[in-house]
Structure 1
């Protein structure tokens, strides 16, 4: 892709830019280290029209979005993007910058973006750009495309100003409130991870066992009883009075007559307010007589959830909000009710409009100030001051529009944190302790906060749970107070952990088994492990969700679980391409191998491209983390350049080979590695760290390796040992964990499970591609030889049931059949339930083609049959076998297959007791084989 057109385009441009595909990456991905939106767009005819060939395009663009002149683009300086526009750049690139600028208009400071042409497809581009809120980011991309098309050819139904306002309002609706955002920002500054748990303000800070939750300014440490007490103003007043704290005289009532009686008893003026209201709603102040009380009572009662109203004596003075966090006063703000100041020119209504035009004011809590609303109460209050809304007040005369100083009703705040008298601070802190709130807003009414309230008069009117922060973080007058810091200090004291260790495993084959091995080792250390795999989510050895859980959503579910103190994730290619990792970083990344599987899907056509996808895990390793890499795989070896942390190699290469020489040099420089030392006694797994060599275990003594014959599991064991070592596990615990891990159905379902079924030796495995079949075939050859050596009847037959996923390439399916034909005598070809775009029988036919071609080339296989349904194929294979034979079942639904095998075993036991014989009479029995059958 070049920046300018070589020849002038012919014809007129049309608004052909359209979005073909949309993805949301929620973690590190193939395009970026951070969350990003990915759009695949098609320019259509606009491929021939860069920006400098469309008359007036750049001018119209900058007229509507002038702040685009601040974009650096590839030039690395302000105005760089404008230079690109004048020189001529393609409209997909322009849409990227517009999407970023739209988010900035909504208050999201997003700057990262990238546009690249889709290889081999003219006019189609990949656009990626950063986002803070997923919904806002997606809306920005859609609006950017519409806007660019409108600039190419004006659309009479499209008004950019209106659309921009609608977009900004949407962003404000989905954004965190000021209090929540302040806490999240503070957590991010300390490298504390966070997850938004709903569309509102419920947020998790930290991971797993270290997680804390906040909802606005309520936290995991906020007691529900304390919140209930604070919401009951009558109870609050009595508790504070019992502690000798200054409070107004008050009583709770349910009727108008009771309110008048209490007011007469207390003495006028009085206040009527709801017992359990908030945000100043329903509060009526300075009631001078019984008639005023009667008028105010229904207003207060309407805002009371339980129908109770508080009548208390009216305390005169200024309104102060004292913020107490974890028992300490952190901020004090003077709250001034909503008002306007006359200028001798404008009416009160006009002054309100001028005040509301302040860009800091918005609806509700969306901005740091709230717009003033002129309702009936405001009109009555203005009238009480001798004005009407259309009157022009004299210059410098303040006209109150509300009596309460709440920010939510349009008030302003003045910071008084450093001015408060120490005695008043002690009173506020004691009030928070009496109620029991970890974060409390104490409402003080007194003449002057700088003087002791017990001397000047005044009282605590309310204690609020979940107090708003914006009056302190964004005061209208005075210095902002960084009050999110003590909140995060309370939740995560200095030195406290917020992250659980994460080990992520990827590769073409062996991911699930390796992840299970690592989890088993860590479980032996007493860790509560959360593991994801293609079989589901396992929390502390309990399968809690049964599904393919190798994607980012499953990882986030583990990180939300409060029991988990260590995470092990199997990470598949599909999840990375679809959503990214779903978490920020992994402490240990394990890459097992890069093999030709899943090619031809989602734009991944070569092994190098597949390696780029898998390398996302390595790029997500921090500086103090580790990447465990297979030194025997050239594509995995290259990933070392992408790792910010340390590399731990594992290799099955012979001593003296080029790979081993490289590893030896790595270790001499202080690096780590796990290698295989071969001798007459067997193969020893050795861990190396610098100049130290530590013998771990003999491979033939590990149950998962079947006496060392399952070389694929030898490699998996080495990767698991390296990962556990990098994660800090002691050597003897790694050894013990690997010695006790086996491939039984209970520890490793569907992965090299060994069973005895009616005299048949049955292996159940997930093998589904040619590289895995080569490894499985090598194991079958070794296992078959050992079975033949111990058999009195001669050479046992090998029967395999094989299949692959329907979204694999035709050649990959044929290759699977070719490889299988070289290791089995009889092959039964089946298909998965999910055909993945193929017709029923199509995948099986392609595999069969590969088998027959291999048979014609002299392969071992002498019979191939097709039974499409999985359980029927299993039953057929068992029926084709005889006692002593080796039956290998490559399964999709391992639960159903294992249940079927158990059923067959029980029936066979019952049949043997009644004298029945199993086996297929058409199959040649071992004792009838000709003499040359073993050759």
Structure 2
């Protein structure tokens, strides 16, 4: 069979939030199959066999069939290459360790052109997966060789470069479980949990409640010990030393064995334990000096190292350590024995591994080997143990064994230092016994690593991420609103900037510092902070990261939904004024008014169950969106006899609507009606009459926000509205 031309990737859009496809981020790719439109999978000899030999787990893809092997059935029956590419990419992500389940492929009106999407939280990772998925599929189509390992490695590298570390990730995952939204603020591990004024920020296992002073104290290990000792917390005797000679002098004063360590190091780097001899102590000083600003010599305390995690004044997890040794077989060198040890799947260089590789060239390891008079090339006699590492392996869970007295001292130490999240390094003979007389606190660590508690080498993983999420967002009866501020999303084309700004003004009058992102600029607490169009993802994102915003009103457009997705995961109120504008969206394969429903419904799909959708009942296509709303529906209309409104009021005892009856604006709840005012009295300052449908939309939205009718009426009359640059709402 002649070689077939490549699938052309026409364009890609990374949709960061809820979109026409799904609630979560996806990469949307426009594909031109070209001549491959005439070659479904069952018409290319050997294609299916090559794909399944490279990617055997494709059999697990249920596809539209809904059962294991479903996608294989589609391959054998004949499916088009856009659909095949979707599944190839999903499987590559799975093989790289990133579970991926969602994907869709849809043909557009132009023959041979498809829109294909797949879910991936990080754009850079999605693009690498697309690149290699495309290469693999074309190699399979044209019966060319393909090396899977470099492809998986490239995707894994992108994941490691872009994804949150395990400590940050577990907190974000726990917040997501509680439906608390998050926003990544940089390329590292700085993450915002929640929106606006309700947000908290984390950076690994530190939070915005972690005091910089407390962190500074924790970094100074000598000062921390003195502070703890002054409060009655058991700590080992010790002293800061300036040089190797002084280290030996102090060791003689306090008595050997001693521990030598940096005063402000971390991850056990530069720490050497149980030293007796002058030469070893001086050598240990040389190891510790580069790892911190000062070196401490302290009395060695016999026992087992433990890490106790304290969150919000409570012990939530504990692990204990073990020394690392290898045992000779009489034939292998020490280096060969360590190579075997490093093959343990729990060991690795990245953060995802609970145990580090053993490096025989590391200073502390070399010192241990020197003390035992062995080298990497030594053949170790059968049964003889060689100690490689005395510390840094605290990965055996012992949370359920912690004695209340040990927990008390751990929590007390965190409070003395001032840390809301702290990792206590403790030496204990037995963690299940009272602390006094059998142990001491060695260090108090800010920003402690959580991996040892998430992936212990022995014992049960602990929900430390949830403990931190619960600390930052204490549970309450209104847990659904944790981390959330009232968000109003407005979509359509008819006077929507006016609607957004009037709603923002009314929210401001109700006592909430309100931000508005609109096509007329951005406003916060009545002050215009940006004059350019902010009815887009970037504008909404800036508003939601602003810690001053206690409420947000966000105008968006159909184009923004199609090209970027919404900037928020859910909203309290979703407003749809119309479905106009399909004529401007032909580049998105929108060619008729009926296709707008799929786009505009996105705004209603994200309404919270305790929120409301505000819909223009004078447009049947808008009113019909009511069936998609998880929350309450409030309709508005210029026609008091509107059939949809009448049915809505009859079907629900408390069905609400805003309507014009005669010359009055009426708030209707079921059969009950209340006159808010006349169209003449509900005018802007100077008697200016706003567009009536826009006025009704704003009134219905304010009513949905539980703003009192009296305040709504008064607020409209005081709303100084101008579209001129620099105007304030």
The normalised TM-score by structure 1 is 0.74
Say if 2:359 is the partner of 1:385: no
Say if 2:558 is the partner of 1:573: yes
**CA deviation profile, 1:534-553 (whole Å, cap 9, x unmatched):** 12221111222222100112
> What residue number does 2:705 align with?
727
> What residue number does 1:128 align with?
117
> In 1, distance between residues paired with 2:329 and 2:427?
30
Displacement of 1:533: 0.5
Say if 2:607 is the partner of 1:621: yes
Contact 1:588 1:621 in 2 (8 A): yes
1:486-885 correspondence to structure 2 within 5 Å: 486-495=467-476, 497-596=482-581, 598-653=584-639, 655-656=640-641, 658=643, 661-662=646-647, 664-666=649-651, 669-678=653-662, 683-704=663-684, 713-742=691-720, 747-750=721-724
> In 1, distance between residues paired with 2:361 and 2:49?
44
> In 1, distance between residues paired with 2:395 and 2:631?
48
> In 1, distance between residues paired with 2:379 and 2:69?
47
1:57-136 correspondence to structure 2 within 5 Å: 57-119=47-109, 121-136=110-125
Contact 1:702 1:708 in 2 (8 A): no
Contact 2:492 2:576 in 1 (8 A): yes
> What residue number does 2:171 align with?
183
> In 1, distance between residues paired with 2:682 and 2:223?
67
> What residue number does 1:165 align with?
153
Say if 2:442 is the partner of 1:461: yes
Displacement of 1:714: 1.3
Say if 2:35 is the partner of 1:51: no
Pick aligned residue for 2:399 from 417, 420, 428: 417
Moved more, 509-518 or 89-98: 89-98
> What residue number does 2:423 align with?
441
> In 1, distance between residues paired with 2:459 and 2:338?
23
SS in 2 for 1:628: strand
> What residue number does 2:414 align with?
432
Contact 1:708 1:714 in 2 (8 A): no
Which has the bigger relative contact order, CA under 8 A and spacing at least 6? Answer: 2
Question: Structure 1's 58 and 600: CA in aligned 2 closer, same or farther, altered over 3 A?
Answer: closer
Say if 2:296 is the partner of 1:319: no
Contact 2:636 2:658 in 1 (8 A): yes
Aligned residues: 721
Contact 2:128 2:154 in 1 (8 A): no
SS in 2 for 1:135: helix
SS in 2 for 1:608: helix
> In 2, distance between residues paired with 1:738 and 1:430?
55
Displacement of 1:741: 1.9
Pick aligned residue for 1:153 from 108, 119, 142: 142
SS in 2 for 1:598: helix
SS in 2 for 1:374: coil
Displacement of 1:660: 5.5
**CA deviation profile, 1:478-525 (whole Å, cap 9, x unmatched):** 122212222122111112632111111111221101111111111111
Question: Structure 1's 362 and 56: CA in aligned 2 closer, same or farther, altered over 3 A?
Answer: farther
Question: Structure 1's 223 and 470: CA in aligned 2 closer, same or farther, altered over 3 A?
Answer: same
1:911-930 correspondence to structure 2 within 5 Å: none
Say if 2:462 is the partner of 1:476: no
Pick aligned residue for 1:257 from 245, 259, 264: 245
Moved more, 190-199 or 247-256: 247-256
Displacement of 1:105: 2.2
SS in 2 for 1:547: coil
Contact 1:277 1:303 in 2 (8 A): yes
> In 2, distance between residues paired with 1:83 and 1:394?
59
Contact 2:395 2:458 in 1 (8 A): yes
Displacement of 1:243: 1.7
> What residue number does 1:908 align with?
none
Give 5+ residue unaligned stretches, structure 2: none
Q: Which has the larger radius of gyration?
A: 1
Displacement of 1:252: 0.9
Question: Structure 1's 252 and 690: CA in aligned 2 closer, same or farther, altered over 3 A?
Answer: same
> In 1, distance between residues paired with 2:460 and 2:384?
26
> In 1, distance between residues paired with 2:599 and 2:191?
30
**CA deviation profile, 1:344-378 (whole Å, cap 9, x unmatched):** 67544334333433444332313344333332433
**CA deviation profile, 1:85-116 (whole Å, cap 9, x unmatched):** 22222221111112222222233222111011
SS in 1 for 2:722: coil
> In 2, distance between residues paired with 1:294 and 1:707?
87
Say if 2:215 is the partner of 1:227: yes
Displacement of 1:338: 4.1
Contact 2:655 2:670 in 1 (8 A): yes
Displacement of 1:200: 1.1
Pick aligned residue for 1:333 from 313, 316, 319: 319
Question: Structure 1's 276 and 341: CA in aligned 2 closer, same or farther, altered over 3 A?
Answer: same
Contact 2:96 2:152 in 1 (8 A): no
Give 5+ residue unaligned stretches, structure 1: 1-10, 751-893, 899-935
Say if 2:194 is the partner of 1:206: yes
Contact 1:331 1:417 in 2 (8 A): yes
SS in 2 for 1:589: strand
Displacement of 1:634: 2.6
Question: Structure 1's 82 and 660: CA in aligned 2 closer, same or farther, altered over 3 A?
Answer: closer
> In 1, distance between residues paired with 2:661 and 2:105?
49
When the two chains are superposed, the root-mean-square deviation of aligned CA atoms in Å is 2.3
> In 2, distance between residues paired with 1:659 and 1:428?
64
